[in-house]
Amino acid sequence: MDVCDISTLQACELSYLYQISTCSGLAALDLTSTRKLVGLRVTGVGAAVCACQGCICLLGLGDLQKGEQYCNMDYIIFSSLQSCKLHEILLSYNIFCQWPKKQEACHDLLPVALWLDPQITLLGVVPKFHLPAHKDICHMKY
């Protein structure tokens, strides 16, 4: 992913970077602004993987700058969904309890080509492995 492609999304990232998480176990996201990442262009990789086939989705791989930020993952997820022909998509994401709240704030900043077709229903779950780090409300809802 070209850094220039997500510069507007990174501007949006600042608007909620310092908001306190409503779920207690999301230290990885809370600490992205405190890590010493000076001089690094990339600090990790994000991927959208097909749960059925176990392969990386088309356009579903991207660099992470300054840790796992919502803007990077929005770009990766919505890029990968452009080739999807399904009407209902189940998204399993370790922070899905937080992601929809943050994603709505930056949706309009996504390039129009990445907007999700309104006829597609996006459902979400938190993987079982990650549930112990979440509050009880997340266990019931996701």
The model's pLDDT over 27-75, given as tens digits with 9 standing for 90+, comes to 555 555 556 667 777 888 889 999 888 899 999 999 887 766 777 888 8
Q: Is the pLDDT of residue 123 over 70?
A: yes
User: What are the structural domain ranges in the chain?
Assistant: 3-141
pLDDT at 124: 86
pLDDT at 61: 93
Q: Is the pLDDT of residue 3 over 50?
A: no
**Which residues partner with 108 through β-bridges?**
none
Q: What share of the chain is helix, strand, coil (3-state, %, to 5)?
A: 40, 20, 40
Rounded CA-CA distance 119/131 in Å is 30
Residue 71 host element (H or E)? helix 70-80
pLDDT at 109: 77
The tokens describing 10, both together, are 């990174």
Rounded mean pLDDT of 20-30?
A: 58
Q: Confirm if 75 and 62 have CB atoms less than 8 A apart.
A: yes
DSSP 73: H
> Distances in Å between the alpha carbon of 75 and those of 9, 115, 136, 140?
8, 10, 29, 28
